[in-house]
Structure 1
Amino acid sequence: MDGLLRSPANFSPLSPITFLERSAKAYRDRTSVVFGSVEHTWLQTYHRCLRLASALTHLGISPGDVVAVLAPNVPAMHELHFAVPMAGLILCPLNTRLDTSTLSVLLQHSEAKILFVDHHLLEVAHGALAKSDRTRKTPKLVLISQSNDDDDEDRSSSFDSNYSFDYDYEDLVKSGDSEFEVIKPRNEWDPISINYTSGTTSRPKGVVWSHRGAYLNSLATVFLHQMPVSPVYLWTVPMFHCNGWCLIWGVAAQGGTNICLRKVSPKLIFKSIATHKVTHMGGAPTVLNMIVSSPVRERRPLPHRVEIMTGGSPPMPQILAKMEELGFNVSHLYGLTETYGPGTHCVWKPEWDSLSLEERAKLKSRQGVQHLGLEGLEVKDPVTMETVPSDGVTMGEVMFRGNTVMSGYFKDLEATRKAFEGGWFHSGDLAVKHPDGYIEVKDRLKDVIISGGENISTVEVERVLCSHKAVFEAAVVARPDNHWGQTPCGFVKLKEGFDCVKPEEIIEFCRDHLPHYMAPKTIVFGDLPKTSTGKVQKYLLRKRADEM
């Protein structure tokens, strides 16, 4: 078409760092971050990020280099999500519960030039660096020593002076220039972050996100969370996990207030909601379980209904129902690191309001439809690539397509090509599609149990287990069986006061509520191994089941 011209006047690469620039103008005097007695406004946060970005450019690194961070939900973690890309660098948030061996592998794989580390984790960081390849230059260490004055444990702790570091975080901020000119991406496809998968099924992979994808998913997540202007968001989702589901940037777009928590407990959650009038929060089903199981003495009346998004494994309907009774409105999202976190949302329909509490909870446990940032979401046969019927029964693999799918796996082109076979991202999750078009995840491909030729969804068995009055949480894996091939093995954590319950009672309960071939043949009591984001590490449970 004649007469058109692409120029800086009508095009600029999309990047979520622009959200901060706008908030510094539109919401300059509104509170951006709260951490105990520490508070910043959006203008102050903007200037701090500018100074930090400026300081980073003087540490001997170049645009496109990787900056890693090992820290909980403290203000520095929030600021680094802006300051690092503002300096033309790539952020690599690391799981705070990694062991030194895994952390060492990721630091080497990411080729991080700088590692920001929280003072509680300095010993871990040194342990990881000690295991690094001696032929490679180790990253420079920047110490984050921000403490929460309202937390006795945090206030009383200190880092071991025997462990060295190169720079202090606050000193770097003070040394920078608040007039620094932001280094914006030349191409919106440029990487903004490398996020390593949680390793629930295999060795962690480095998932690369672009500025464009982060921008679009931040806005899409704000929409699906129904965030108005100036929300108050409580950080119970780890900021290192999928960049806090993109809401570090998303809350900035709305000029909201970030309430930072170093650690998560029911007592702190209820206290924060009451003190700061929290409007929104998020959390894995384990966080929801923790809230509904909390002692009454730790709870406080909610000042208003609080919106909470949950993701990860499908939440049990009974947990959703209890959350609603406490005054939380739970929305269910679903996604993976490869989809920038949230990719689907169980969009609520007004006609469902008249249903019973149990029926509403069952509907909310579905994963729903794609959000605005995705072009397509389908449940397909992974071999034929045909879409399964919308009958709520036929299972297929969940597949995504669109602008909020990862750029690829860092330094692993073969794995990237395999994930994108047929022009769709293969999630590895099994689901059904209901007649209304909503999907419902049933299991991971690797978790399905095949017993006597019958496919058993571990999620279905787990839901029944968790409906028993004595069960706090449960996970089901396959146990080898000479006759059936595999049988369900349930790992169960009991609620306090139910120590006298026997495995046989749990098995009989399942047989009363499931076809007998689906009921667990073995029950093991104890804690469940989890990642820091609340996902059960089933590969460890499978290993235990194999050894029985």
Structure 2
Amino acid sequence: MYPGTWASRTPDKPALVMAGSGRTLTYAQLDERSARLARYLHDRAGLRVGDVVALLSDNRPETYEAYWAALRSGLYITAVNHNLAADEVAYILRDCGARALLVAPSKSDLAARAGVGIGTSLTFEGDYEEALAAVSAEPLPEQPHGEDLLYSSGTTGRPKGIKPPLPAIAVDEPGYVYPTVFGALYGFGVDTVYLSPAPVYHAAPLRFGGVVHALGGTLVMMERFDAEDALRAIERYRITTTQMVPTMFVRMLKLPPEVRSAYDVSSLRTVIHAAAPCPVDVKRAMIEWFGPIIHEYYASTEANGATFIDSEAWLRKPGSVGTALMGTIRICGDDGAVLGPGEVGTVFFEREQRTFSYHNDEERTRSTQHPDHESWTTVGDLGYLDEDGYLFLTDRKAFMIISGGVNIYPQEIEDLFSLHPAVTDIAVIGVPDDEMGERVVAFVQPAPGAVPGEDLAAELTAYARERIAHFKVPREFLFREELPRTPTGKMVKGRLREEYART
């Protein structure tokens, strides 16, 4: 199903509401406007099945007009991170081969600085409205299902385009993976009111908003995340379902108790989290606050596999990301051999066939494949399975520190400080060391009121030495006003390594 299904049944129902302004798009409007845009891209811009339309926008209703225009005409849609520099945006636009670009007014200067010549470029609220008015609202005679072509956040290098095959269905036919898998898993339906607090260019917010529309619910989209504003939106719109990342949990938990208790969150039925590892203490605190409605899945933009876990199972297996939802989990050593329970290795998912490739990068695509099994793929995470088949992640392979021949996982150290009152954010990296190979260094964003310097470093060192093995304790604490974390919660450690190398 798709918005057209619900436009015929509940035309005046809100398909999308902006949490701050209250600006609303009904299903009738979403269906008509996405149909007009699909026709414009086909009839006037000449796009055909398999072509790419790019989106450079902040959170606004038009983003889903663009999304559904692509999905109802067999196009790929590439949502570009608008926080990137102009040359990074230009790289993605060139790499994906975009034939059309849709731009928010606030991002028009960025698009101009990117300087990529694209045949069709429309700015929302301006020539975009003229383009929609110039074509028929009649849907295209054939509406093959489109897909997204999204780029990784680039936390370990240049962003990678993940290009899945186009679904072999029409847009109004069942079988699209996200409504089928996640819609059923989390009970999405016509009574769902879903709060999306994250940037729409990221995979999970974009796709889950599409799931809401496919299944007839209402999507409430925040213009940008703010911890108290999120609570305010939950109360105002009687939110039933939301998805957040652990950094959002941390910011909400650090609100004053009187602020947290001031809002009615009893409408919530399901709170989902993903995108980044969640410290055990943080998740336990969220379950205590919201109740046993916290659900987690582990997946990636590549969608090569997934796991899931609910609160009840997590309380029995704290720290786990759950059991397999899509694919079979295989933990493998560096030689490709399958490891036993409790042994840390690379996390592979076995599927019936390969589900993705990296656009224009065959070598990188091959690097994700198991040496002996073409349908086993990995995105580079490390972890282990326990005896009951529950997956525990230890870190990204690219982030692991080897000091004196011992493996150290930065995630464990970062989790330790997640709720420390003097720490707003922390990132742990390994830096070259003549004696040990690598040594552990922590970059810290102090909490308001905490004074960076030797005394704070000594306090954090003592805190860590009481709780983890001494060889894991950072040898240096470097204080920064802000750390380079993406809006979806992932730390861009490459920038920190570059910064340290320059010192």
Normalising by structure 1, report the TM-score.
0.82
**Helix, strand or coil for the counterpart of 1:274?**
helix
Aligned match of 2:40: 55
* Aligned ranges 1:115-514 → 2 under 5 Å: 115-129=101-115, 132=116, 137-145=117-125, 168-185=127-144, 192-212=147-167, 215-242=176-203, 244=205, 246-295=207-256, 299=260, 300-304=262-266, 306=268, 307-327=270-290, 329-339=293-303, 343-349=306-312, 360=315, 363=317, 365-371=319-325, 374-384=326-336, 386-391=337-342, 394-402=343-351, 406-421=355-370, 422-423=373-374, 424-499=376-451, 501-514=455-468
Aligned match of 1:22: 5
After alignment, is 226-235 or 67-76 more displaced?
Answer: 226-235
Is the Cα–Cα contact under 8 Å of residues 47 and 99 in structure 2 kept in the other structure? no
Equivalent AA in structure 1 for residue 7 of structure 2: A
* Distance in 2 of aligned mates of 1:544 and 1:268: 34
Is 1:517 the counterpart of 2:471 in the alignment? yes
Shift of 1:171: 2.6
Deviations 1:100-124 (A, max 9, x none): 0100111111121211111111111
- RMSD value, Cα: 2.4
Aligned match of 2:87: 101
Determine what percentage of the aligned residue pairs are the same residue.
25
The change in CA–CA distance for 1:327 and 1:504 in structure 2 (over 3 A counts) is: same
Deviations 1:235-280 (A, max 9, x none): 1132211162621221123211011222111232122111111111
Shift of 1:228: 4.4
* Distance in 2 of aligned mates of 1:245 and 1:330: 21
For structure 2, the 5+ residue unaligned runs are 169-174
Is the Cα–Cα contact under 8 Å of residues 53 and 98 in structure 2 kept in the other structure? yes
Aligned match of 1:34: 17
Shift of 1:207: 0.6
Equivalent AA in structure 1 for residue 462 of structure 2: E
Is the Cα–Cα contact under 8 Å of residues 39 and 139 in structure 2 kept in the other structure? yes
Shift of 1:84: 1.7
* Distance in 2 of aligned mates of 1:538 and 1:182: 48
* Distance in 1 of aligned mates of 2:235 and 2:354: 37
The change in CA–CA distance for 1:404 and 1:119 in structure 2 (over 3 A counts) is: farther
For structure 1, the 5+ residue unaligned runs are 1-17, 146-166, 353-358
The change in CA–CA distance for 1:245 and 1:368 in structure 2 (over 3 A counts) is: farther
Shift of 1:489: 0.8
* Distance in 2 of aligned mates of 1:229 and 1:540: 43
Shift of 1:485: 1.3
Normalising by structure 2, report the TM-score.
0.89
* Distance in 2 of aligned mates of 1:73 and 1:273: 18
Aligned match of 1:44: 29
Equivalent AA in structure 2 for residue 76 of structure 1: E
Equivalent AA in structure 1 for residue 406 of structure 2: E
Is the Cα–Cα contact under 8 Å of residues 332 and 366 in structure 1 kept in the other structure? no
* Distance in 2 of aligned mates of 1:406 and 1:50: 29
Shift of 1:545: 3.4
Is 1:71 the counterpart of 2:57 in the alignment? yes
The change in CA–CA distance for 1:325 and 1:507 in structure 2 (over 3 A counts) is: same
* Distance in 2 of aligned mates of 1:365 and 1:61: 50
* Distance in 1 of aligned mates of 2:445 and 2:295: 26
Which structure 1 residue ranges, 4+ long, deviate > 6 Å from structure 2?
A: none
**Helix, strand or coil for the counterpart of 1:504?**
helix
Deviations 1:409-431 (A, max 9, x none): 11222322332332211220100
Is the Cα–Cα contact under 8 Å of residues 193 and 210 in structure 1 kept in the other structure? no
* Distance in 2 of aligned mates of 1:366 and 1:231: 27
